């Protein structure tokens, strides 16, 4: 194996945190280097299409980052987004991820994904992008997440939605205007209104 090519792949893996074969395509590197580096113990294959530097620690967001790599068009949502924004006592066992209605359900052998389907503005609004140790994490804003919690209150529980609303206001991590904006997009204005009034 050409040493320069090998170094480029390893450098890319360190820079991105989580490497996919498409990342090599963009740089003009052959995908076969992934398997070769795995055999040498310099890369680790987490599951199909997901490679990392062995023992690379991306901290508490490791699984969220891997999920975003596994599902490039997916967005971290609901319980996982609440945990990311630090406004919940919930500790989800699965990674909650939003995908478009017409997208085929992603399969994962190691990542415990809980897929929620969205359409139109409900999918496109409130997406925030974070760079964590070179890796990209896409997550809904706190205001959008709170609105989603009320929309999916039958899945996650109304108590979780109320807690998210209360904590988002207490910590002032999002404005009332943002909450109303996303409540309208998610069509939960009437549902969230009495709880909003109790907190203002």
Q: What is the pLDDT of residues 26-37, one digit of tens each?
A: 888 888 888 888
Instruction: Count Cβ atoms within 10 A of the Cβ of residue 60 and give its class: 0-12 exposed, 13-18 middle, 19 or more buried.
Output: exposed
Kindly report the pTM of this predicted structure.
Answer: 0.74
Q: pLDDT digit string (tens) for 37-89?
A: 888 888 888 777 888 777 766 667 888 888 888 888 899 999 999 999 999 88
Contact 101, 117 (CB under 8 A): yes
Spans of all domains in the chain: 3-52, 59-199
CA distance 81 to 144: 10
Kindly tell me if the per-residue pLDDT of 2 is higher than 60.
Answer: no
Q: What is the CA radius of gyration of the chain?
A: 19
Is 150 strand, coil or helix?
helix
């Amino acid at each position: 194996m050409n040493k320069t090519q090998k170094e480029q792949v390893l450098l890319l893996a360190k820079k991105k945190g989580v490497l996919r074969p498409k990342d090599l395509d963009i740089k003009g590197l052959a995908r076969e280097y992934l398997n070769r580096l795995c055999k040498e113990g310099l890369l680790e294959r987490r599951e199909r299409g997901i490679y990392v530097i062995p023992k690379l620690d991306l901290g508490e967001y490791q699984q969220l980052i891997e999920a975003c790599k596994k599902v490039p068009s997916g967005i971290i949502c609901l319980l996982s987004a609440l945990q990311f924004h630090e406004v919940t006592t919930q500790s989800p066992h699965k990674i909650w991820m939003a995908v478009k209605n017409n997208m085929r359900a992603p399969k994962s052998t190691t990542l415990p994904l809980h897929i929620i389907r969205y359409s139109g503005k409900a999918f496109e609004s409130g997406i925030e992008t974070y760079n964590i140790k070179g890796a990209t994490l896409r997550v809904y804003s706190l205001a959008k997440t709170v609105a989603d919690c009320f929309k999916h209150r039958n899945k996650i529980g109304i108590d979780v939605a109320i807690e998210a609303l209360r904590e988002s206001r207490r910590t002032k991590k999002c404005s009332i205007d943002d909450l109303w904006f996303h409540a309208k997009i998610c069509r939960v204005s009437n549902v969230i209104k009495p709880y909003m009034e109790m907190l203002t």
